[in-house]
Amino acid sequence: MATSAPITGQAPDPAPAITFPPGFLWGTATASYQIEGAAREDGRTPSIWDVYSHTPGRVLNGDTGDVADDHYHRWREDLGILADLGVGAYRFSVAWPRVQPTGSGPANAKGIDFYSRLVDGLLERGIKPVATLYHWDLPQELEDAGGWPVRETAYRFAEYAGIVADALGDRVPTWTTLNEPWCSAFLGYGSGVHAPGRTDAADSLRAAHHLNLAHGLAVRTLRDRLPAGAEVSVTLNVHQVRPVSDSPEDREAARRIDGTANRVFTGPMLDGAYPQDVRDDTAHLTDWSFVQEGDTALIHQPLDFVGVNYYSPTLVAHDPEGAGHGSDGHGASEHSPWPAGGGVVFHQAPGPRTAMGWGIDPTGLYDLLVRIGREHPDLPVVITENGAAFDDSVGDDGRVDDPERVAYLRGHLSEVHRAIESGVDVRGYFLWSLLDNFEWGYGYSKRFGAVYVDYATQRRIPKSSAHWYGRLARTGTLPQD
């Protein structure tokens, strides 16, 4: 018979504080089309997202990024918010059509000047600039010429990378080539729920390869143009793919989805080759003749770290009737973003969900970090996006309290810390996002920001999560309240 613990009259000892290593980098992140606005100002031309969002039926409520958060005009205010938070870094993306309006040829001086002022403003406030060259805003002129399924687009991207490096490389110490090329390739050209809205499975694989090639060419260009010591990386939305059971059929489904979710990019970028099983799984769609001799050597460039974006795990099962789309969390479409997804069905993760309908499971972040650490032990990792959308609103007292987001962040950062203790070389964490913003196909209906934006007035209100995250960024210790 068990005996109860003695009653001491004292509260139990508090849990030990979770403190991150010295030098761990704390930041926030945004993307150009989601926040900048000024879509037709100072020489900027349309991107694929301008055209897509203006196409009826593509974006919820007909929302567009024409104004967004008006960051193009309000950047000083936004940098002030960053300084008040006390973060050490800010990850922003450069709008390709603002800097090189046609996707080829000379730079647009006014576009360069905007990012130059932004970088100088960050440095004046003691905040490290982290520049992403591509967060999905391909110049429409390049899409009209074929877009990412066309090889020439990769060479145009390398040229653009050189323009930005020449303009900002003396002040920006850290660079990312591509953000989430999986979304660009498979949501943009496979399921069509992202710009440019095309739905051709073979083209989505061609796009994936040319995005890989663009990354490799851009890394080589950046190494040639940047000062010694500059950091170069890529950001991948690494999917933590889990079978819903341990059956051989469900494990096989997970292997196939992992192939075109992750290894179609990590294979050539990090290992120097496309996995043979990925080629075999997609042989019914293409013979992969678009991969030319020497391509994988070009793609496989040394990196200073890999950026990881994580929101929720991906649960899959074998189902002979599964069409490889549905409850995968990436938007509704009659077309699948999974070229090897036939006979696979996606399941929602159990438990609480965000406003996006994504299951909240911080252990997925731990598992994928451990996997990267095991497969690439000499490659540091930075969490370049992690966060959640909730139905935030302004209270009668003018505050925006978002305890669900604080709980989400605490849970995920606890798992990041656990991964570090397990030996994974995690160097930093960027909260997505600084501001509520244009959330792609969901328009302005989903709020990911630590700062609330009243879109009618453009008033910014830091949420309770912003204050919580600011304490973490300043101390390196996870706040307990």
- Give residue 453's Cα distance to chain centre: 21
What is the identity of the amino acid at 130? V
* Choice among 385, 404, 415, 439 that is catalytic: 385
Is residue 152 part of the annotated active site? The answer reads no
CA torsion 416-422-427-431 (nearest 10°) is 0
Would you call the peptide bond into 106 cis, given omega within 30 degrees of 0 as the criterion? no
Cβ contact 288:219 at 8 Å = no
Q: Are strands 459-462 and 451-454 parallel, antiparallel or unpaired?
A: antiparallel
CA–CA separation, 65 and 38 (whole Å):
9
Cα angle 50, 53, 59; round to 5: 160
Looking at residue 92, the DSSP 8-state letter turns out to be E
* Choice among 143, 180, 231, 415 that is catalytic: 180
CA–CA separation, 478 and 481 (whole Å):
9
Within 10 A of 288 (CB to CB), how many other CB atoms are there?
Answer: 14
Is residue 385 part of the annotated active site? The answer reads yes
Burial class (CB in 10 A: 0-12, 13-18, 19+), 374: exposed
Cβ contact 342:349 at 8 Å = no
Instruction: Report the catalytic residues.
Output: 180, 385
